[in-house]
Amino acid sequence: MMAASVDLQNSNAQTQGAQLRRGVATIAVALGLAVLLRETGASHRTILLLVPFFFLGIYGVQASFMGTCSIAAMRGVRLTASGAEPICDRGRRAKLRRRGLGLIASSAAAAVLAGALLAFAH
């Protein structure tokens, strides 16, 4: 996996670490719930209710690795140790917004796939 371009990062190391921890914990909880639901005979539809949890977890992990916070990107800011600071360069701001939207889209697609695989696995 290629490292994220520093020019397209808008979160600092502290934020990335927090995103990674929350993402991994959320995925672990979602997987645990999926196993519990499968073992108790829950319906496929019930297991699909875990998709939002998978989305949040996958988003957290991807955002951490990419160094991009989509919410901050949409606001046009960079997260620093002293708080949010605006990104003045319009081109860079537009690239970050596109990257943030791509991050959300890929996280959503992966979450739907994970939910479907777990719901319909035999």
Q: Is residue 3 part of a domain?
A: no
Domain containing 19: what range?
A: 9-120
* Better pLDDT: 105 or 122: 105
Q: Is residue 103 part of a domain?
A: yes
Provide the number of structural domains found in the chain.
Answer: 1
Q: Is residue 85 part of a domain?
A: yes
Structural tokens at position 50: 């875990």
Indicate the DSSP class of residue 25: H
Q: Is residue 2 part of a domain?
A: no
Structural tokens at position 55: 């989305």
Q: Confidence class of residue 1 from pLDDT cuts 50, 70 and 90?
A: very low
H, E, C per residue of 33-93: HHHHHHHCCCCHHHHHCCHHHHHHHHHHHHHHHHCCCHHHHHHCEEEECCEEEECCCHHHH
Contacts of 25 (CB under 8 A, 6+ apart): 57
pTM equals 0.88
* 79: pLDDT strictly greater than 70: yes
State the maximum Cα–Cα separation within the chain, in Å, rounded to a whole number: 54
Look at residue 6 in the predicted model and tell me its pLDDT: 62
- Structure confidence by residue, pLDDT tens digits, 30-59: 999 999 999 999 999 999 999 999 999 999
